[in-house]
Amino acid sequence: MVFSSITFLFYFLPIVLGVYYIVPKKCKNIVLLIASFAFYFFGEPTYVLLMAFSIIITYIFGLLIDKYQKTEKAKIFLALACIISIGLLVYFKYANFIIENINLWLKHKVDFINVVLPIGISFYTFQMLSYLVDVYKGNAKVQKNILKLAMYVSLFPQLIAGPIVRYTTIQDQIENRTHTMEKFALGVRRFIIGLSKKVLIANVLGELVTTFLASNEMSVLYYWLYAISAMLQIYFDFSGYSDMAIGLGKMFGFEFLENFNYPYIAKSITDFWRRWHISLSSWFRDYVYIPLGGNRTTKIKWLRNIMIVWLLTGLWHGAAWNFIIWGLYFGILLIIEKLFLGKYLEKLPKIFSHLYVLILVMISFIIFNGESTSMILQNIGGLVGLGNVPLILPESVYYLKSYFIVIVIGMIGATPILKNIATSKKVEKIANVLEPIFLVCLLVICTSYIVDGSFNPFLYFRF
């Protein structure tokens, strides 16, 4: 079940909200737990047991780590819990990728494992790992009620595609959270905005990306249309999902941290990763980079730490070489900036530093979407006409005209321009009056698109 579906919007969510607000406070977490397992069961009826098993393991080891706090046993229990959780993730997500690469070197091939990737396993695994580490470090209180821990892990607004909500962020909210009309209204507003980003921009541009990948009539213009559309698609798809998750959280009284902060206005790749998928980059910083020594070590180890983090970041996104290359690509860029380029970028006029980021990020998403090295090189080379690619073809002109307005809207929407206008004192009063009408119109339009059966996957479901 996806958020941008009729089933979720007009059946599941209204029923859950209705029951949630009817029951007394002490029953609200139970309602959310049941709803979250039902939500996951709808999409993954088999692997709901895997998630339940992971929660039980996390609960038991959390109690053991807390019981033997500051002893060698606590460290052993933490290590065992991490091995089990990461082991499950590796088996279900990476086993066949490992076998595929081993088979390249073996005469007698190893058979592939008949396994399907459980939806959201990367997200809820990281949430459980952060909980255990924080309990071990004393940063979080152990949760002695398994149902409350299960509710935290399985909470459906952020279960499938994040953001990665740490236990320390909502541990107090599990027991005590406020429900107000203002917070609920803000949640509805944020959800509709996220839904619109997903349905009206990401889905539409996704159609262009899919058409390009199936086409044989290539031109420089078409390659640029593809690269820009893919770049905007993944941003509006994932940030739209994060908006919907944060909005749903508010409807149920939770406050999740922001996951995106206009990354396409960044002035460096370092700045970009402070703004893009914030929950993931901060997770790797706190649970991998800093424990490895961060930058408080020798230069060689510091550079090693950066590359380890970005190798893992690439792998986290998928079991394929394009994701590994994508992660290492960013690791190398960040090292270059930290060693010498960063100080020059700060002195450049903003327009040049923005263009630097946009071009490198655009190339990164060509790598991200590439199914093979040859495809990646072809799509990058096509941007500058390599391979005797013509500048323009009638097909590319047709698609430029067809998608021009959506691309322009996407470019503007990826910046804070509209937000700044809407919150300026000159138009704030008018915006407050018109906003409810505007949001209702957006919801109606989105519903029309969904009913029409338009292209509607979530890119991050595979992670």
Between CA 90 and CA 92 the distance in angstroms is 6
Collapsed DSSP state (helix, strand, coil) of residue 267: coil
- Catalytic residue from among 108, 179, 317, 354: 317
Between CA 424 and CA 409 the distance in angstroms is 20
Q: What is the DSSP letter of 71?
A: S
Between CA 190 and CA 200 the distance in angstroms is 15
Between CA 457 and CA 206 the distance in angstroms is 9
C-alpha distances (whole Å) from 155 to each of 125, 149, 211 are 13, 10, 35
Between CA 147 and CA 400 the distance in angstroms is 52
Contacts of 391 (CB under 8 A, 6+ apart): 219, 220, 221, 385
Phi, psi of 144 (to 5 degrees): -90, -5
317 is catalytic: yes
Between CA 200 and CA 445 the distance in angstroms is 8
Between CA 248 and CA 162 the distance in angstroms is 12
Look at the alpha carbons of 348, 349, 353, 355 in this order and tell me if their dihedral is positive or negative.
negative
Active site residues: 317
